[in-house]
Structure 1
Amino acid sequence: MKTILIYDGSFDGLLSAIFYVFEFKLTNVCIKKREHSQQNFFDAEEVIITDKIKATRVWKGLSKKLSARGRQKIYKAFLSEIPTIETAILHFIKRTFSSEVPIENDYSDPSILEIDKVAKKVDREKHRMDAFVRFKLTKDDIYFASIEPDFNVLPLNADHFKKRYADQKWLLYDVKRKYGVYYDLKNVQTVKLEISSNTNNTSNASTYFTLDEINFQQLWGIYFKNSNIPSRKNMRLHIKHIPKRYWKYLPEKKF
């Protein structure tokens, strides 16, 4: 009989589940997020309560066995939200603790190779968000931008924007996952909000954004349109550098 460990979807929750695996010496085990679990008659389910102390113990243990890059791979793979990624992460961590030599670059192991590939995909998505996010000034004097990335990269983007816009209040909101990161000129904090996906529609602009901001967005769109040279247009190259799925973030693509 397999044991299914159900956790709340947080990274601390995942580490708490992994602590449970080691604590009870489980072998035939699978870890799943609550929303991905499907009860059946053949497996035993255990609901894992997130325990920050236990999660920290696992992470500190990994810091003694893995490089900072190796630990980042685990975290980035987790942010991919791939339904089976917990299995690969568990295997990665079990091998890490059981081996006397570093294993994080042992790509002959399918799970370690998967973690590496997924982490790179998440990293690429993070850098694209860094490049393509466009903030707009709201009537509340907060710079706002919404994103809808394939992976849950918002925690990775926060530090970049804190350094880049240290003198401005801003809110970066993930429409798909319905949460955001807010910077108040001192700290970045995670906030749970329900914000309509229609916020960025041109027809709703006057409801949320200042008149100066709307005029600036229009001016930038006109400049972008008129500065292009049609005879030198290379749409294939353009899409390669800026895939179409990111165009909705760019005001210059709305004119």
Structure 2
Amino acid sequence: MSRSLTPLNQSTSPGKPATVTARPPAPALTAPSLDYAYDGSFEGLLTVLFTIYDRKAAPNSIQPEGAVQGGLFVQPLLVETHEATATRVWEGLLRHMTAEARTRLFHAFLSEQPDRELVIFRYADLAMRSAQDIADNYADDNVRRVAHLAQQMGREKHRMEAFVRFEKTADELFHATIEPDFDVLPLIAPHFTKRYADQRWLIYDRRRHYGLYYDLHRTDIVQFEPDTAAPRRSTSVSATVLDEREPLFKVLWQTYFDHVNIPERKNIKLHRRHIPLRYWKYLSEKQPRETRFEPIKNKRPPQADNLRLG
């Protein structure tokens, strides 16, 4: 399926209020319900939303093309993605909701929940049929669900921005492997593009077989073919392509981590709450030490002159 870093390259600020006046009424869905299929992209889903109101046929289901489960007598309507139509729908949503609420729909889509498409449709449909903003209407199941998914995405985005560890290859490329619970690469792209603007880097999502590549000018989506024969336990690039100084960098980072740690204040339960165990295999400081840690022994005993009073 096609992927994009930002939904339709919109630059609308999240805090911009929606236009409440002159809302066009949503068409009544009077035709028999249909099952819809699309290519799995966010632009494809927006095209499906347009098709629903164009045909005035509510969805029984909305499924990615590769996951369609039709019955013997039921063939889903395959909706072809149109960028212009998707852009029209994306911009049109601002007539019924704030930019921040619209962004929540994109975050809900990236959550990869099995019923995300219907949840997004129901949220948008409710917004179009309501006389006021529904973003805080937590009495509605769909509004509450979208808000919860957006909150989960925010936490995962924050963790990925903190837990990514790069390895330098021989050709000056900084590589990192991640395996997040949700599809957060489109959300973390601006952070890494701004923070590491002076170096080439690649962040690879092992679970979804695609990554972000920055070439000193722009950040692009790069797709990889899944390698079913590759061992799942490997979490880094082959040592044969790493920079010869990379093992030293790893040791230096581990040494720094060990020396800033305070053993007397160790709280494993709290530590695992802030850094969940599932991320440890990608963190350099959590890997086995090549050299045994020794505490710093340069502290001098107190001098007798310092102990005298007065």
| TMscore range, shorter length | over 0.9
1:114 matched residue in structure 2: 145
CA distance in 1, matches of 2:271, 2:45: 40
Quick check: 1:208 aligned with 2:238? no
Q: Measure, in 2, the Cα distance between the counterparts of 1:42 and 1:101.
A: 41
Instruction: Please state whether the residue corresponding to 2:57 is helix, strand or coil.
Output: coil
Indicate the structure with greater helix content. 1
1:249 paired to 2:282: yes
Rounded Cα–Cα distance in structure 1 between residues aligned with 2:249 and 2:273: 27
Aligned residue for 2:69? 38
Task: Please tell me whether residue 156 in structure 1 is matched to residue 187 in structure 2.
Answer: yes
Cα RMSD, aligned residues only: 1.8
**What's the secondary structure of 1:113's corresponding residue?**
helix
Task: Show the counterpart of 1:237.
Answer: 270
Residues in 2 aligned to 1:28 and 1:122: alpha-carbon distance in whole angstroms? 26
- Please state how far the C-alpha of 1:209 moved relative to its aligned partner: 1.2
Task: Say if 2:204 and 2:211, in contact at 8 Å, map to a contact too.
Answer: yes
Equivalenced residue count is 253
Distance 2:276 2:161 in 1: 14
CA distances 1:24-59 after superposition (whole Å, capped 9, x unpaired): 001253211123321113544111111111111110
Distance in 2 between residues matched to 1:2 and 1:32, nearest whole Å: 14
Residue equivalent to 2:85: 54
Please give the per-residue CA displacement for 1:111-136, whole angstroms capped at 9, x wherever unaligned: 11100001110111011000100111
Contact 1:2–1:44 (Cα < 8 Å) also in 2: no
Work out the CA distance in 2 between the residues paired with 1:111 and 1:100.
17
Tell me, yes or no, if structure 1 residue 182 matches structure 2 residue 218: no
Q: 1:3 aligns with which of 21, 34, 57?
A: 34
What is the CA distance between 1:95 and its match in structure 2?
1.5
Q: Is the 8 A contact 1:70 1:104 kept in 2?
A: yes
User: Displacement, 1:205?
Assistant: 4.6
Q: Take 1:28 and 1:174, find their aligned partners in 2: how far apart are those partners?
A: 32
Larger Rg: 2
TM-score, length of structure 1 as denominator length: 0.93
CA contact (8 A) 1:36 1:83 kept: no
Task: Measure the CA separation in 2 of the matches of 1:122 and 1:93.
Answer: 19
SS at the partner of 1:170? Answer: strand
Describe the SS at the equivalent of 1:167. Answer: coil
Letter in 2 for 1:153: V
Q: Is the 8 A contact 1:7 1:17 kept in 2?
A: yes
* 1:83-122 pair list within 5 angstroms: 83-122=114-153
Q: Secondary structure at the match of 2:46?
A: helix
2:52 touches 2:59 (CA, 8 Å); kept in 1?
no
Three-state SS of the structure 2 residue aligned to 1:27 is strand
Equivalent residue for 2:155? 124
- Whichever residue aligns with residue 60 of structure 1, its letter is E
Q: Distance in 2 between matches of 1:243 and 1:35?
A: 32
Task: Tell me how far apart the structure 2 counterparts of residues 96 and 64 of structure 1 sit (CA, whole Å).
Answer: 9
Q: Write the letter of the residue equivalent to 1:142.
A: L
Residues 130, 157 of structure 1: 8 Å contact kept: yes
- Amino acid across the alignment from 1:125: E
Question: Secondary structure, in 3 states, of the residue corresponding to 2:114?
Answer: coil
Aligned mate of 1:217, from 245, 250, 259: 250
Gaps of 5+ in 1: none
1:212 partner letter: R
**2:298 aligns to what?**
none
In the superposition, the TM-score normalised over structure 2's length comes to 0.77
Counterpart of 1:78, as a letter, is F
